Structure 1
Protein backbone atom coordinates (compact mmCIF):
# COMPACT_ATOMS: atom_id res chain seq x y z
CA UNK A 1 0.00 0.00 0.00
CA UNK A 2 2.88 2.37 0.80
CA UNK A 3 4.47 1.88 -2.64
CA UNK A 4 1.13 2.22 -4.43
CA UNK A 5 0.54 5.72 -3.08
CA UNK A 6 3.74 7.30 -4.53
CA UNK A 7 3.07 5.60 -7.87
CA UNK A 8 -0.47 7.00 -7.93
CA UNK A 9 0.84 10.47 -7.05
CA UNK A 10 3.44 10.24 -9.81
CA UNK A 11 0.79 9.26 -12.37
CA UNK A 12 -1.39 12.17 -11.27
CA UNK A 13 1.51 14.61 -11.65
CA UNK A 14 2.22 13.24 -15.11
CA UNK A 15 -1.42 13.68 -16.12
CA UNK A 16 -1.44 17.26 -14.81
CA UNK A 17 1.79 18.07 -16.68
CA UNK A 18 0.44 16.53 -19.87
CA UNK A 19 -2.81 18.47 -19.51
CA UNK A 20 -0.90 21.69 -18.91
CA UNK A 21 1.30 21.07 -21.94
CA UNK A 22 -1.76 20.38 -24.10
CA UNK A 23 -3.42 23.60 -22.96
CA UNK A 24 -0.23 25.59 -23.55
CA UNK A 25 0.20 24.21 -27.05
CA UNK A 26 -3.46 24.87 -27.89
CA UNK A 27 -3.09 28.44 -26.61
CA UNK A 28 0.07 29.01 -28.67
CA UNK A 29 -1.72 27.71 -31.78
CA UNK A 30 -4.62 30.06 -31.04
CA UNK A 31 -2.26 33.05 -30.68
CA UNK A 32 -0.38 32.03 -33.84
CA UNK A 33 -3.61 31.89 -35.82
CA UNK A 34 -4.64 35.28 -34.41
CA UNK A 35 -1.33 36.78 -35.58
CA UNK A 36 -1.65 35.16 -39.02
CA UNK A 37 -5.26 36.30 -39.43
CA UNK A 38 -4.44 39.99 -39.10
CA UNK A 39 -0.72 40.15 -39.78
CA UNK A 40 -0.76 43.33 -41.90
CA UNK A 41 -2.81 45.44 -39.48
CA UNK A 42 -1.00 43.92 -36.52
CA UNK A 43 2.40 44.82 -37.94
CA UNK A 44 1.40 48.45 -38.41
CA UNK A 45 0.09 48.69 -34.86
CA UNK A 46 3.12 47.05 -33.27
CA UNK A 47 5.52 49.52 -34.89
CA UNK A 48 3.39 52.56 -34.04
CA UNK A 49 5.66 55.05 -32.19
CA UNK A 50 2.99 55.79 -29.60
CA UNK A 51 2.47 52.08 -28.95
CA UNK A 52 6.22 51.45 -28.59
CA UNK A 53 6.59 54.39 -26.19
CA UNK A 54 3.66 53.03 -24.17
CA UNK A 55 5.35 49.61 -23.96
CA UNK A 56 8.57 51.12 -22.59
CA UNK A 57 6.74 53.30 -20.08
CA UNK A 58 4.52 50.42 -18.97
CA UNK A 59 7.56 48.15 -18.53
CA UNK A 60 9.11 50.61 -16.07
CA UNK A 61 5.80 50.95 -14.23
CA UNK A 62 5.40 47.16 -14.14
CA UNK A 63 8.87 46.71 -12.62
CA UNK A 64 7.93 49.21 -9.91
CA UNK A 65 4.58 47.51 -9.22
CA UNK A 66 6.26 44.14 -8.74
CA UNK A 67 7.59 45.50 -5.45
CA UNK A 68 4.07 45.04 -4.06
CA UNK A 69 4.31 41.30 -4.71
CA UNK A 70 7.80 41.19 -3.21
CA UNK A 71 6.58 42.95 -0.05
CA UNK A 72 3.70 40.46 0.28
CA UNK A 73 6.16 37.55 0.03
CA UNK A 74 8.40 39.14 2.67
CA UNK A 75 5.48 39.64 5.06
CA UNK A 76 4.85 35.88 5.06
CA UNK A 77 8.52 35.24 5.86
CA UNK A 78 8.43 37.70 8.76
CA UNK A 79 5.26 36.04 10.07
CA UNK A 80 7.25 32.87 10.82
CA UNK A 81 10.88 33.96 11.27
CA UNK A 82 10.57 37.57 12.31
CA UNK A 83 12.95 40.01 10.56
CA UNK A 84 15.72 37.44 9.95
CA UNK A 85 16.88 39.65 7.10
CA UNK A 86 15.73 43.03 5.89
CA UNK A 87 13.10 44.03 3.35
CA UNK A 88 15.79 45.37 1.01
CA UNK A 89 17.51 41.99 0.79
CA UNK A 90 14.17 40.23 0.32
CA UNK A 91 13.27 42.54 -2.58
CA UNK A 92 16.71 41.97 -4.12
CA UNK A 93 16.15 38.20 -4.00
CA UNK A 94 12.69 38.65 -5.45
CA UNK A 95 14.03 40.84 -8.26
CA UNK A 96 16.83 38.44 -9.20
CA UNK A 97 14.53 35.44 -9.45
CA UNK A 98 11.63 36.98 -11.38
CA UNK A 99 13.14 36.07 -14.75
CA UNK A 100 13.38 32.41 -13.69
CA UNK A 101 9.66 32.02 -14.37
CA UNK A 102 10.41 31.96 -18.10
CA UNK A 103 12.18 28.64 -17.65
CA UNK A 104 10.04 25.53 -18.28
CA UNK A 105 7.50 24.58 -15.57
CA UNK A 106 6.28 28.08 -14.56
CA UNK A 107 7.53 27.68 -10.97
CA UNK A 108 11.30 28.09 -11.26
CA UNK A 109 11.14 31.65 -9.90
CA UNK A 110 9.67 30.22 -6.70
CA UNK A 111 12.35 27.53 -6.57
CA UNK A 112 15.09 30.12 -7.06
CA UNK A 113 13.57 32.40 -4.45
CA UNK A 114 13.39 29.51 -1.99
CA UNK A 115 17.08 28.66 -2.49
CA UNK A 116 18.38 32.23 -2.23
CA UNK A 117 16.22 33.11 0.79
CA UNK A 118 17.26 29.87 2.51
CA UNK A 119 20.92 30.77 2.08
CA UNK A 120 20.12 34.22 3.48
CA UNK A 121 18.83 32.67 6.70
CA UNK A 122 15.11 32.04 6.18
CA UNK A 123 13.75 28.81 7.66
CA UNK A 124 12.22 26.04 5.59
CA UNK A 125 8.91 26.53 7.38
CA UNK A 126 8.81 30.26 6.64
CA UNK A 127 9.60 29.64 2.99
CA UNK A 128 6.95 26.93 2.73
CA UNK A 129 4.32 29.20 4.30
CA UNK A 130 5.37 32.07 2.01
CA UNK A 131 5.10 29.85 -1.05
CA UNK A 132 1.68 28.50 -0.12
CA UNK A 133 0.54 32.00 0.80
CA UNK A 134 1.77 33.40 -2.52
CA UNK A 135 -0.02 30.72 -4.53
CA UNK A 136 -3.27 31.07 -2.60
CA UNK A 137 -3.42 34.86 -2.47
CA UNK A 138 -2.47 35.24 -6.15
CA UNK A 139 -5.35 33.02 -7.17
CA UNK A 140 -7.83 34.60 -4.77
CA UNK A 141 -6.97 38.20 -5.71
CA UNK A 142 -6.86 37.64 -9.48
CA UNK A 143 -9.96 35.45 -9.38
CA UNK A 144 -11.93 38.00 -7.35
CA UNK A 145 -11.08 40.85 -9.74
CA UNK A 146 -11.78 38.73 -12.80
CA UNK A 147 -15.20 37.64 -11.55
CA UNK A 148 -16.25 41.03 -10.16
CA UNK A 149 -15.13 43.14 -13.10
CA UNK A 150 -15.23 40.98 -16.22
CA UNK A 151 -17.65 38.10 -15.76
CA UNK A 152 -20.06 39.30 -18.51
CA UNK A 153 -17.13 39.70 -20.91
CA UNK A 154 -16.04 36.11 -20.49
CA UNK A 155 -19.60 34.93 -20.89
CA UNK A 156 -19.56 36.76 -24.22
CA UNK A 157 -16.20 35.20 -25.09
CA UNK A 158 -17.63 31.74 -24.39
CA UNK A 159 -20.58 32.40 -26.69
CA UNK A 160 -18.31 33.82 -29.39
CA UNK A 161 -15.79 30.99 -29.53
CA UNK A 162 -18.30 28.20 -29.15
CA UNK A 163 -18.16 24.76 -27.51
CA UNK A 164 -16.18 23.15 -30.33
CA UNK A 165 -13.23 25.52 -30.04
CA UNK A 166 -10.08 24.22 -28.25
CA UNK A 167 -10.26 27.35 -26.11
CA UNK A 168 -13.19 25.75 -24.27
CA UNK A 169 -10.95 22.89 -23.18
CA UNK A 170 -8.46 25.42 -21.90
CA UNK A 171 -11.16 27.14 -19.89
CA UNK A 172 -12.47 23.92 -18.39
CA UNK A 173 -9.02 22.77 -17.36
CA UNK A 174 -8.31 26.18 -15.87
CA UNK A 175 -11.59 26.02 -13.93
CA UNK A 176 -10.62 22.61 -12.57
CA UNK A 177 -7.24 23.92 -11.52
CA UNK A 178 -8.93 26.87 -9.86
CA UNK A 179 -11.07 24.45 -7.84
CA UNK A 180 -7.85 22.67 -6.87
CA UNK A 181 -6.37 26.01 -5.85
CA UNK A 182 -9.34 26.69 -3.56
CA UNK A 183 -8.63 23.40 -1.86
CA UNK A 184 -5.01 24.46 -1.53
CA UNK A 185 -6.21 27.68 0.05
CA UNK A 186 -8.06 25.66 2.68
CA UNK A 187 -4.89 23.67 3.30
CA UNK A 188 -3.05 26.98 3.72
CA UNK A 189 -5.57 27.98 6.35
CA UNK A 190 -5.06 24.82 8.38
CA UNK A 191 -1.27 24.85 7.99
CA UNK A 192 -1.22 28.32 9.51
CA UNK A 193 -3.76 27.63 12.24
CA UNK A 194 -1.09 27.42 14.94
CA UNK A 195 0.30 30.88 14.11
CA UNK A 196 -2.77 32.65 15.46
CA UNK A 197 -4.41 35.88 14.39
CA UNK A 198 -1.18 37.12 12.82
CA UNK A 199 -1.71 34.74 9.90
CA UNK A 200 -5.08 36.30 9.14
CA UNK A 201 -3.64 39.82 9.31
CA UNK A 202 -0.71 38.99 7.00
CA UNK A 203 -3.01 37.18 4.56
CA UNK A 204 -5.30 40.24 4.45
CA UNK A 205 -2.29 42.53 3.89
CA UNK A 206 -1.02 40.29 1.09
CA UNK A 207 -4.47 40.16 -0.50
CA UNK A 208 -4.64 43.97 -0.61
CA UNK A 209 -1.13 44.18 -2.08
CA UNK A 210 -1.98 41.65 -4.77
CA UNK A 211 -5.25 43.39 -5.60
CA UNK A 212 -3.33 46.64 -6.03
CA UNK A 213 -0.81 44.85 -8.25
CA UNK A 214 -3.50 43.36 -10.49
CA UNK A 215 -5.31 46.68 -10.72
CA UNK A 216 -2.02 48.30 -11.71
CA UNK A 217 -1.34 45.60 -14.29
CA UNK A 218 -4.86 46.12 -15.65
CA UNK A 219 -4.23 49.85 -15.96
CA UNK A 220 -1.15 49.06 -18.06
CA UNK A 221 -3.40 47.05 -20.38
CA UNK A 222 -5.77 50.03 -20.48
CA UNK A 223 -2.85 52.28 -21.46
CA UNK A 224 -1.87 49.95 -24.33
CA UNK A 225 -5.53 49.66 -25.34
CA UNK A 226 -6.00 53.44 -25.48
CA UNK A 227 -3.02 53.92 -27.81
CA UNK A 228 -4.87 51.88 -30.44
CA UNK A 229 -8.58 52.45 -29.77
CA UNK A 230 -10.88 54.78 -27.93
CA UNK A 231 -13.50 53.46 -25.56
CA UNK A 232 -13.46 50.32 -23.50
CA UNK A 233 -14.59 50.23 -19.90
CA UNK A 234 -11.61 50.49 -17.58
CA UNK A 235 -13.04 48.11 -14.96
CA UNK A 236 -13.71 45.43 -17.58
CA UNK A 237 -10.19 45.70 -18.97
CA UNK A 238 -8.70 45.36 -15.48
CA UNK A 239 -10.85 42.27 -14.88
CA UNK A 240 -9.80 40.75 -18.22
CA UNK A 241 -6.15 41.31 -17.36
CA UNK A 242 -6.55 39.69 -13.94
CA UNK A 243 -8.36 36.67 -15.39
CA UNK A 244 -5.72 36.25 -18.11
CA UNK A 245 -2.97 36.36 -15.49
CA UNK A 246 -4.82 33.85 -13.31
CA UNK A 247 -5.33 31.28 -16.07
CA UNK A 248 -1.75 31.68 -17.29
CA UNK A 249 -0.58 31.21 -13.71
CA UNK A 250 -2.50 28.03 -12.91
CA UNK A 251 -1.79 26.16 -16.16
CA UNK A 252 1.28 24.01 -15.39
CA UNK A 253 4.20 23.98 -17.78
CA UNK A 254 3.59 27.38 -19.44
CA UNK A 255 6.69 29.49 -18.62
CA UNK A 256 5.38 32.79 -17.32
CA UNK A 257 1.93 31.83 -18.65
CA UNK A 258 3.35 32.14 -22.19
CA UNK A 259 0.65 31.66 -24.81
CA UNK A 260 -2.12 31.00 -22.33
CA UNK A 261 -2.26 34.55 -20.99
CA UNK A 262 -2.16 35.98 -24.52
CA UNK A 263 -4.95 33.69 -25.71
CA UNK A 264 -7.22 34.68 -22.82
CA UNK A 265 -6.45 38.37 -23.36
CA UNK A 266 -7.27 38.14 -27.07
CA UNK A 267 -10.56 36.36 -26.37
CA UNK A 268 -11.51 38.76 -23.59
CA UNK A 269 -10.58 41.94 -25.47
CA UNK A 270 -12.39 40.90 -28.65
CA UNK A 271 -15.44 40.01 -26.57
CA UNK A 272 -15.19 43.51 -25.06
CA UNK A 273 -15.45 44.97 -28.55
CA UNK A 274 -11.83 45.58 -29.52
CA UNK A 275 -11.05 44.72 -33.17
CA UNK A 276 -9.13 41.49 -33.54
CA UNK A 277 -5.83 43.05 -34.75
CA UNK A 278 -5.85 45.53 -31.88
CA UNK A 279 -6.68 42.83 -29.31
CA UNK A 280 -3.77 40.74 -30.57
CA UNK A 281 -1.45 43.77 -30.49
CA UNK A 282 -2.43 44.57 -26.89
CA UNK A 283 -1.87 40.95 -25.83
CA UNK A 284 1.57 40.84 -27.44
CA UNK A 285 2.38 44.30 -26.09
CA UNK A 286 1.45 43.20 -22.59
CA UNK A 287 3.81 40.25 -22.91
CA UNK A 288 6.62 42.60 -23.94
CA UNK A 289 5.82 44.83 -20.97
CA UNK A 290 6.07 41.98 -18.46
CA UNK A 291 9.23 40.47 -19.96
CA UNK A 292 10.98 43.85 -20.17
CA UNK A 293 9.82 44.71 -16.64
CA UNK A 294 11.14 41.44 -15.21
CA UNK A 295 14.46 41.87 -17.04
CA UNK A 296 14.75 45.48 -15.88
CA UNK A 297 14.14 44.45 -12.28
CA UNK A 298 16.76 41.69 -12.47
CA UNK A 299 19.26 44.07 -14.09
CA UNK A 300 18.80 46.70 -11.38
CA UNK A 301 19.24 44.03 -8.67
CA UNK A 302 22.42 42.78 -10.35
CA UNK A 303 23.86 46.30 -10.66
CA UNK A 304 23.12 47.07 -7.01
CA UNK A 305 24.70 43.78 -5.93
CA UNK A 306 27.90 44.50 -7.89
CA UNK A 307 28.03 48.04 -6.56
CA UNK A 308 27.67 46.76 -3.01
CA UNK A 309 30.39 44.13 -3.44
CA UNK A 310 32.80 46.56 -5.16
Structure 2
Protein backbone atom coordinates (compact mmCIF):
# COMPACT_ATOMS: atom_id res chain seq x y z
CA UNK A 1 0.00 0.00 0.00
CA UNK A 2 2.87 2.38 0.81
CA UNK A 3 4.38 1.90 -2.65
CA UNK A 4 1.10 2.78 -4.31
CA UNK A 5 0.74 5.94 -2.27
CA UNK A 6 4.31 7.01 -2.99
CA UNK A 7 3.83 6.46 -6.71
CA UNK A 8 0.82 8.75 -6.68
CA UNK A 9 3.03 11.53 -5.27
CA UNK A 10 5.50 11.41 -8.15
CA UNK A 11 3.35 13.31 -10.64
CA UNK A 12 2.17 16.11 -8.31
CA UNK A 13 5.67 16.54 -6.87
CA UNK A 14 7.19 16.79 -10.35
CA UNK A 15 4.61 19.37 -11.39
CA UNK A 16 5.28 21.32 -8.17
CA UNK A 17 9.04 21.41 -8.80
CA UNK A 18 8.46 22.47 -12.39
CA UNK A 19 6.09 25.19 -11.18
CA UNK A 20 8.77 26.49 -8.78
CA UNK A 21 11.25 26.69 -11.65
CA UNK A 22 8.72 28.57 -13.77
CA UNK A 23 8.00 30.97 -10.91
CA UNK A 24 11.70 31.71 -10.48
CA UNK A 25 12.22 32.42 -14.18
CA UNK A 26 8.69 33.55 -15.10
CA UNK A 27 9.62 37.03 -16.28
CA UNK A 28 12.49 35.75 -18.41
CA UNK A 29 10.26 33.09 -19.98
CA UNK A 30 7.60 35.67 -20.86
CA UNK A 31 10.23 37.80 -22.58
CA UNK A 32 10.87 34.96 -25.03
CA UNK A 33 7.65 35.55 -26.96
CA UNK A 34 7.82 33.92 -30.43
CA UNK A 35 7.87 36.12 -33.53
CA UNK A 36 5.98 35.37 -36.75
CA UNK A 37 8.55 32.78 -37.82
CA UNK A 38 8.39 31.24 -34.36
CA UNK A 39 4.62 30.84 -34.54
CA UNK A 40 5.01 29.15 -37.92
CA UNK A 41 7.54 26.74 -36.41
CA UNK A 42 5.21 25.94 -33.53
CA UNK A 43 2.37 25.30 -35.96
CA UNK A 44 4.60 22.96 -37.95
CA UNK A 45 5.56 21.22 -34.70
CA UNK A 46 1.89 20.74 -33.91
CA UNK A 47 1.32 19.11 -37.31
CA UNK A 48 4.33 16.82 -36.88
CA UNK A 49 3.09 15.73 -33.45
CA UNK A 50 -0.38 14.99 -34.82
CA UNK A 51 1.18 12.88 -37.58
CA UNK A 52 3.23 11.07 -34.94
CA UNK A 53 0.04 9.94 -33.19
CA UNK A 54 -1.19 8.20 -36.33
CA UNK A 55 2.19 6.56 -36.91
CA UNK A 56 2.12 5.29 -33.34
CA UNK A 57 -1.31 3.82 -34.03
CA UNK A 58 0.03 2.07 -37.15
CA UNK A 59 2.86 0.62 -35.04
CA UNK A 60 0.26 -0.77 -32.62
CA UNK A 61 -1.68 -2.31 -35.52
CA UNK A 62 1.58 -3.95 -36.68
CA UNK A 63 2.04 -5.27 -33.14
CA UNK A 64 -1.45 -6.78 -33.24
CA UNK A 65 -0.59 -8.48 -36.51
CA UNK A 66 2.56 -9.90 -34.95
CA UNK A 67 0.45 -11.21 -32.06
CA UNK A 68 -1.84 -12.86 -34.65
CA UNK A 69 -4.74 -10.55 -33.92
CA UNK A 70 -5.86 -9.67 -37.48
CA UNK A 71 -8.11 -6.66 -36.93
CA UNK A 72 -8.91 -4.06 -39.64
CA UNK A 73 -6.44 -1.18 -39.81
CA UNK A 74 -9.05 1.65 -39.82
CA UNK A 75 -10.76 0.37 -36.67
CA UNK A 76 -7.47 -0.07 -34.84
CA UNK A 77 -6.24 3.41 -35.81
CA UNK A 78 -9.42 5.16 -34.69
CA UNK A 79 -9.56 3.24 -31.40
CA UNK A 80 -5.91 3.92 -30.61
CA UNK A 81 -6.17 7.65 -31.34
CA UNK A 82 -9.42 8.08 -29.41
CA UNK A 83 -8.07 6.39 -26.30
CA UNK A 84 -4.67 8.12 -26.38
CA UNK A 85 -5.91 11.14 -24.44
CA UNK A 86 -7.06 8.90 -21.57
CA UNK A 87 -3.44 8.60 -20.41
CA UNK A 88 -3.73 12.07 -18.86
CA UNK A 89 -6.39 10.85 -16.43
CA UNK A 90 -5.25 10.07 -12.86
CA UNK A 91 -3.71 6.62 -12.72
CA UNK A 92 -2.23 6.79 -16.22
CA UNK A 93 -3.68 3.42 -17.32
CA UNK A 94 -7.08 4.38 -18.71
CA UNK A 95 -5.85 4.43 -22.32
CA UNK A 96 -4.64 0.86 -21.85
CA UNK A 97 -7.92 -0.18 -20.24
CA UNK A 98 -9.89 1.33 -23.11
CA UNK A 99 -7.87 -0.60 -25.67
CA UNK A 100 -8.02 -3.78 -23.60
CA UNK A 101 -11.80 -3.66 -23.34
CA UNK A 102 -12.15 -2.98 -27.04
CA UNK A 103 -9.94 -5.93 -27.91
CA UNK A 104 -11.98 -8.17 -25.63
CA UNK A 105 -15.15 -6.96 -27.38
CA UNK A 106 -13.55 -8.14 -30.64
CA UNK A 107 -13.27 -11.70 -29.24
CA UNK A 108 -9.52 -11.39 -28.60
CA UNK A 109 -8.32 -13.64 -25.77
CA UNK A 110 -7.51 -11.97 -22.47
CA UNK A 111 -3.85 -12.95 -22.74
CA UNK A 112 -3.40 -11.58 -26.27
CA UNK A 113 -5.28 -8.39 -25.44
CA UNK A 114 -3.16 -7.77 -22.37
CA UNK A 115 0.04 -8.50 -24.28
CA UNK A 116 -0.99 -5.95 -26.90
CA UNK A 117 -1.34 -3.13 -24.38
CA UNK A 118 1.78 -4.10 -22.39
CA UNK A 119 4.13 -4.58 -25.34
CA UNK A 120 3.30 -1.17 -26.83
CA UNK A 121 5.05 0.96 -24.16
CA UNK A 122 7.88 -1.57 -23.96
CA UNK A 123 8.59 -1.17 -27.67
CA UNK A 124 8.43 2.62 -27.39
CA UNK A 125 10.91 2.53 -24.53
CA UNK A 126 13.34 0.28 -26.42
CA UNK A 127 13.08 2.40 -29.57
CA UNK A 128 13.82 5.56 -27.58
CA UNK A 129 16.85 3.97 -25.91
CA UNK A 130 18.19 2.95 -29.33
CA UNK A 131 18.31 6.65 -30.27
CA UNK A 132 20.15 7.74 -27.12
CA UNK A 133 23.66 6.89 -28.52
CA UNK A 134 23.19 9.63 -31.15
CA UNK A 135 24.03 12.07 -28.35
CA UNK A 136 27.48 10.59 -27.76
CA UNK A 137 28.87 8.54 -24.88
CA UNK A 138 27.07 10.54 -22.13
CA UNK A 139 29.10 9.02 -19.30
CA UNK A 140 28.58 5.54 -20.76
CA UNK A 141 24.83 5.79 -21.21
CA UNK A 142 25.23 5.93 -24.98
CA UNK A 143 26.97 2.56 -24.86
CA UNK A 144 24.53 0.88 -22.48
CA UNK A 145 21.21 2.09 -23.89
CA UNK A 146 21.18 -0.10 -27.06
CA UNK A 147 21.46 -3.22 -24.89
CA UNK A 148 17.73 -2.74 -24.30
CA UNK A 149 17.31 -4.58 -27.61
CA UNK A 150 18.24 -7.77 -25.77
CA UNK A 151 14.84 -7.59 -24.08
CA UNK A 152 13.30 -8.59 -27.41
CA UNK A 153 15.12 -11.92 -27.50
CA UNK A 154 12.51 -14.63 -26.87
CA UNK A 155 14.54 -16.07 -23.98
CA UNK A 156 14.27 -12.70 -22.21
CA UNK A 157 11.02 -11.38 -23.64
CA UNK A 158 8.79 -14.28 -22.59
CA UNK A 159 9.80 -14.30 -18.89
CA UNK A 160 9.45 -10.51 -18.78
CA UNK A 161 5.99 -10.65 -20.33
CA UNK A 162 4.88 -13.42 -17.97
CA UNK A 163 5.88 -11.25 -15.03
CA UNK A 164 4.05 -8.26 -16.48
CA UNK A 165 0.98 -10.38 -17.16
CA UNK A 166 0.85 -11.55 -13.55
CA UNK A 167 1.20 -8.00 -12.22
CA UNK A 168 -1.42 -6.53 -14.59
CA UNK A 169 -3.92 -9.39 -14.62
CA UNK A 170 -6.32 -7.32 -12.51
CA UNK A 171 -6.87 -5.08 -15.55
CA UNK A 172 -8.91 -7.92 -17.07
CA UNK A 173 -11.42 -7.76 -14.23
CA UNK A 174 -12.43 -10.38 -11.66
CA UNK A 175 -14.51 -12.36 -14.14
CA UNK A 176 -11.75 -12.60 -16.74
CA UNK A 177 -8.83 -14.95 -16.85
CA UNK A 178 -5.47 -14.65 -18.54
CA UNK A 179 -5.29 -18.16 -19.93
CA UNK A 180 -1.97 -19.82 -20.51
CA UNK A 181 -0.64 -19.90 -24.01
CA UNK A 182 2.47 -20.97 -25.87
CA UNK A 183 5.47 -18.64 -25.52
CA UNK A 184 5.86 -16.02 -28.21
CA UNK A 185 8.19 -16.98 -31.03
CA UNK A 186 10.50 -14.47 -32.64
CA UNK A 187 10.76 -10.76 -31.86
CA UNK A 188 8.46 -7.86 -32.87
CA UNK A 189 11.00 -6.13 -35.10
CA UNK A 190 8.48 -4.59 -37.50
CA UNK A 191 6.48 -2.79 -34.77
CA UNK A 192 9.77 -1.67 -33.21
CA UNK A 193 10.99 -0.20 -36.50
CA UNK A 194 7.72 1.74 -36.83
CA UNK A 195 8.24 3.20 -33.36
CA UNK A 196 11.50 4.82 -34.50
CA UNK A 197 9.93 7.24 -37.03
CA UNK A 198 7.13 7.87 -34.51
CA UNK A 199 9.72 9.08 -31.99
CA UNK A 200 11.54 11.09 -34.64
CA UNK A 201 8.29 12.84 -35.55
CA UNK A 202 7.69 13.59 -31.87
CA UNK A 203 11.19 14.96 -31.68
CA UNK A 204 10.52 17.08 -34.78
CA UNK A 205 7.71 18.76 -32.84
CA UNK A 206 10.05 19.23 -29.91
CA UNK A 207 12.77 20.55 -32.22
CA UNK A 208 10.40 23.21 -33.51
CA UNK A 209 9.99 24.44 -29.94
CA UNK A 210 13.77 24.44 -29.49
CA UNK A 211 14.26 26.42 -32.69
CA UNK A 212 11.63 28.93 -31.56
CA UNK A 213 12.98 29.67 -28.08
CA UNK A 214 16.61 28.52 -28.23
CA UNK A 215 18.85 26.97 -30.88
CA UNK A 216 19.39 23.43 -32.05
CA UNK A 217 23.02 24.22 -32.85
CA UNK A 218 23.67 25.35 -29.26
CA UNK A 219 24.09 21.70 -28.22
CA UNK A 220 23.91 19.80 -31.48
CA UNK A 221 21.04 17.78 -32.87
CA UNK A 222 22.27 14.50 -31.37
CA UNK A 223 22.46 15.87 -27.82
CA UNK A 224 18.95 17.33 -28.02
CA UNK A 225 17.61 14.04 -29.43
CA UNK A 226 19.33 11.91 -26.78
CA UNK A 227 18.06 14.12 -23.96
CA UNK A 228 14.55 14.04 -25.41
CA UNK A 229 14.54 10.24 -25.70
CA UNK A 230 15.92 9.76 -22.19
CA UNK A 231 13.24 12.05 -20.73
CA UNK A 232 10.61 10.26 -22.82
CA UNK A 233 11.62 6.88 -21.39
CA UNK A 234 11.59 8.10 -17.78
CA UNK A 235 8.22 9.80 -18.26
CA UNK A 236 6.89 6.57 -19.75
CA UNK A 237 7.98 4.21 -16.99
CA UNK A 238 7.65 6.31 -13.83
CA UNK A 239 4.30 5.56 -12.14
CA UNK A 240 2.02 8.26 -10.86
CA UNK A 241 2.72 10.71 -13.69
CA UNK A 242 -0.15 10.55 -16.22
CA UNK A 243 1.21 11.26 -19.68
CA UNK A 244 4.64 11.83 -18.12
CA UNK A 245 3.56 15.34 -17.12
CA UNK A 246 6.20 16.91 -14.91
CA UNK A 247 8.58 13.94 -15.00
CA UNK A 248 9.50 14.42 -18.67
CA UNK A 249 10.17 18.11 -18.08
CA UNK A 250 12.20 17.59 -14.91
CA UNK A 251 14.46 15.00 -16.54
CA UNK A 252 15.21 17.37 -19.41
CA UNK A 253 15.86 20.21 -16.96
CA UNK A 254 18.29 18.03 -15.00
CA UNK A 255 19.99 16.68 -18.13
CA UNK A 256 20.52 20.05 -19.83
CA UNK A 257 20.90 22.32 -16.80
CA UNK A 258 23.90 24.59 -17.24
CA UNK A 259 24.22 23.84 -20.96
CA UNK A 260 21.65 26.42 -22.08
CA UNK A 261 19.86 29.24 -20.20
CA UNK A 262 17.19 27.78 -17.93
CA UNK A 263 14.57 30.31 -19.07
CA UNK A 264 15.00 29.16 -22.69
CA UNK A 265 14.71 25.52 -21.68
CA UNK A 266 11.56 26.19 -19.64
CA UNK A 267 9.98 28.00 -22.60
CA UNK A 268 10.79 25.01 -24.80
CA UNK A 269 9.31 22.55 -22.30
CA UNK A 270 6.10 24.50 -21.69
CA UNK A 271 5.49 25.09 -25.39
CA UNK A 272 6.17 21.44 -26.23
CA UNK A 273 3.81 20.20 -23.52
CA UNK A 274 1.07 22.46 -24.90
CA UNK A 275 1.78 21.24 -28.44
CA UNK A 276 1.85 17.60 -27.33
CA UNK A 277 -1.47 17.73 -25.47
CA UNK A 278 -3.05 19.88 -28.19
CA UNK A 279 -1.96 17.46 -30.92
CA UNK A 280 -3.40 14.48 -29.08
CA UNK A 281 -6.68 16.30 -28.51
CA UNK A 282 -6.85 17.29 -32.18
CA UNK A 283 -6.11 13.76 -33.34
CA UNK A 284 -8.68 12.30 -30.93
CA UNK A 285 -11.31 14.81 -32.04
CA UNK A 286 -10.64 13.95 -35.68
CA UNK A 287 -10.93 10.23 -34.95
CA UNK A 288 -14.18 10.78 -33.05
CA UNK A 289 -15.68 12.81 -35.91
CA UNK A 290 -14.57 10.20 -38.42
CA UNK A 291 -16.25 7.44 -36.40
CA UNK A 292 -19.52 9.36 -36.13
CA UNK A 293 -19.53 10.08 -39.85
CA UNK A 294 -18.94 6.39 -40.57
CA UNK A 295 -21.85 5.42 -38.29
CA UNK A 296 -24.19 7.91 -39.94
CA UNK A 297 -23.22 6.73 -43.41
CA UNK A 298 -24.21 3.18 -42.44
TM-score tier by shorter-chain length is: 0.7 to 0.9
Name whichever of 246-255 and 20-29 sits farther off.
20-29
1:118 to 104, 122, 134: 104
1:302 maps to 288
Which consecutive segments of 4 or more residues in structure 1 shift more than 6 A? 181-184, 189-193
CA distance in 2, matches of 1:126, 1:189: 11
| Mapped pair 1:241 → 2:228 | yes
CA RMSD of aligned residues (A): 2.9
Rounded to whole Å, the distance in 2 between the matches of 1:129 and 1:94 is: 15
Retained in 1: the 8 A contact 2:214–2:265? no
Is 1:259 aligned with 2:231? Answer: no
Contact (CA 8 Å) 2:86, 2:95: kept in 1 or not?
A: yes
Q: How much does 1:151 deviate?
A: 5.5
Contact 1:219 1:234 in 2 (8 A): no
Q: Is the 8 A contact 1:143 1:243 kept in 2?
A: yes
Structure 1: unaligned runs, 5 residues or longer: 1-10, 156-177
Q: How does 1:143-162 map to 2 (within 5 A)?
A: 143-149=129-135, 152=138
Q: Give, in whole Å, the separation in 2 of the partners of 1:131 and 1:239.
A: 26
Shift of 1:267: 2.5
Residue 194 of structure 1 is aligned with which of 178, 183, 194? 183
Are the structure 2 counterparts of residues 193 and 68 from structure 1 closer, same or farther at C-alpha, using a change threshold of 3 Å? Answer: farther
CA deviations over 1:283-307 (Å, ceiling 9, x no partner) = 1111111101110111111110111
Query: Are 1:268 and 2:255 an aligned pair?
Result: yes
Where does the alignment leave 5 or more consecutive residues of structure 2 unmatched? 142-147, 166-180
Structure 2 residue 127 is the aligned partner of structure 1 residue 138: no
Partner of 2:207: 222
> When the two structures are aligned, how many residues end up with a matched partner?
268
1:21 and 2:8 matched: yes
Q: What residue is the counterpart of 1:8 in the other structure?
A: none
- Residue 255 (structure 2) pairs with residue 283 (structure 1): no
Instruction: Give the alignment of 1:62-211 within 5 angstroms.
Output: 62-83=49-70, 85-149=71-135, 152=138, 185=157, 187-188=159-160, 194-197=183-186, 200=187, 203-211=188-196
Cα distance in 1 for partners of 2:19, 2:183 equals: 49
Counterparts in 2 of 1:154 and 1:39: CA distance versus 1, 3 Å: farther
**Counterparts of 1:92 and 1:124 in 2: how far apart (Å)?**
21
Q: 1:150 to 1:96 in 2, by over 3 A?
A: farther
Query: Separation in 2 of the partners of 1:52 and 1:218?
Result: 17
Return the TM-score normalized by structure 2. Answer: 0.79
Q: Which residue of 2 aligns with 1:168?
A: none
Q: 1:64 to 1:122 in 2, by over 3 A?
A: farther
3-state SS in 1 of match to 2:108: coil
Higher helix proportion (structure 1 or 2): 1
